Amino acid sequence: DVPLLAVEDLVVEYMTPSGPVRAVDAVSFVLARGEVLGLVGESGSGKSTVAQALARILGPPAMITAGRVLFEGSDVLAMHEDDLRRFRWRKMSFVLQSAMNALCPVLTIGEQIIDVLVTHERTSARAARERAAHLLELVGIDPARLTSHPHELSGGMRQRVGIALALALDPPLVIMDEPTTALDVVVQHEVLSKIAELKEKLGLSVLFITHDMSIVSQFATRIGVLYAGRLVEMAPTRELFRAPRHPYTKGLLGSFVSLHGPRRRLAGIPGSPPDLRRLPAGCAFRARCAEATARCATEAPVLRGIGEDHSTACHLVSP
Ligand code: SF4
Ligand code: MG
């Protein structure tokens, strides 16, 4: 069975005057149909770069220098510009942190949704209007809002319009990059429940990118943890919370002991991520790792399976 999305040894480098800098280093994962895969990492971990590489919306100085991205078996990195434009709305669409960036301030919500529909599908203006109204209903917004401009909506509503736009052509995969980060907690919750509901209703697959473990735990089926451009741990959500194995994941989870217990502040990890331009030899997490040994200073750990559907990259962890 061909997975919806397979990423194989993806490498993205930023070309700088002092040479290439690896922002994404040999990242591999598979996303199955109907799955919500969470990609978690601090800022600078490469999570947004991975997302943008998948849809090939990265521009210079970033460059995909190795790896494969297979969508339903076909190679996205080999697609021509024409195929790519169709692919981006029909097969894989995006919801960004601030819908303000995706929405045009001078057009009404309806005009923008209809524009996407008539540009990409042979559809009558009337059918497009009906579809636009349906899309707004789907995300819990009164279709009367089709005549509103973006600035007339609240932040939470704008994010939901962003989701409606992403769903316009009914793509099987939606990539969401910090879709609720700019919202306050209550609105965040409302948008997240809407995403969870849509996932059930439409059988949507989602790649959900966030720096917040507590958000991703609510509806991701699996979670990948990125550190300094590499995947350091990947497991089904329950398994990751029950038995995190990488010291970085353990730190991220901190006091976050139970999926259902009271939520406490994340413990946080002392120190900051390494400068990608001057990555130390060995394990990139070493400077912050309380468990580091001499081997960690010289040899970089590779991601390997340590249990069913659970893998990690740490010298101290074995199956
Ligand atoms: Fe820590 Fe070493 Fe494991 Fe890296 S490989 S996480 S430094 S113990
Ligand atoms: Mg980002």
Going by alpha carbons, the residue nearest to atom 4 of ligand 1 is 283
Q: 34 near 61, Cβ under 8 Å?
A: no
* Prediction ipTM score: 0.96
Residues within 6 Å of ligand 1 by CB = 246-247, 283, 285-286, 289, 291-292, 296, 301, 314-316
Q: Which atom from ligand 1 is nearest to the alpha carbon of 295?
A: 2
Residue 31's DSSP bridge partners are 5
Mutate to test the pocket of ligand 1, among 289, 295, 306, 311 (most ligand atoms within 8 A of CB): 289
Strands 205-210 and 36-40: parallel
Residues measured by CB to lie within 5 Å of ligand 2, the ion = 48
Distance of alpha carbon 38 from alpha carbon 32, whole angstroms: 13
- For the chain, 319 residues long, the average pLDDT of each consecutive 10-residue run is 95 94 96 95 92 92 97 95 90 84 90 93 92 95 96 92 94 94 86 91 94 86 96 97 93 61 55 87 94 96 94 94
- Contact 187/157 with Cβ under 8 angstroms? no
Q: How far is the CA of 102 from the centre of ligand 2 (A)?
A: 15
At 268 the pLDDT is: 63
> Do the Cβ atoms of 184 and 176 come closer than 8 Å?
no
Rounded to whole angstroms, how far apart are CA atoms 8 and 189? 33
pLDDT score, position 254: 75
Query: How many of the other CB atoms lie within 10 Å of CB of 301?
Result: 21
What is the number of the ligand closest to the CA of 292?
Answer: 1
Q: How many helices (H) and strands (E) does the chain have?
A: 10, 12
Q: Which ligand is nearest to the CA of 23?
A: 2
- Ligand 1 centroid to 296 CA: how many Å? 6
What does residue 101 show for φ and ψ, rounded to 5 degrees?
A: -75, -25
Distance 291 CA to ligand 2 centre (A): 29
Domains and CATH numbers, the chain: 5-91+171-312 (3.40.50.300)
Long-range (24+ apart) CB contacts under 8 A made by 100-107 are 100/150, 100/158, 102/162, 102/165, 103/150, 103/158, 103/161, 103/162, 103/165, 104/150, 105/149, 105/150, 105/151, 106/149, 107/149
The per-residue pLDDT for 45 is 93
Instruction: Ligand 1, residue 293: give the atom nearest the CA.
Output: 2
Q: Considering only CA atoms, which residue is closest to atom 7 of ligand 1?
A: 286
- What's the pLDDT score for residue 182? 83
Residue 292 CA to ligand 1 centre (angstroms): 5
Mutate to test the pocket of ligand 1, among 225, 227, 299, 314 (most ligand atoms within 8 A of CB): 314
Under DSSP, is residue 149 helix (H, G, I), strand (E, B) or coil?
Answer: coil
User: Distance from the CA of 305 to the center of ligand 1, in angstroms?
Assistant: 16
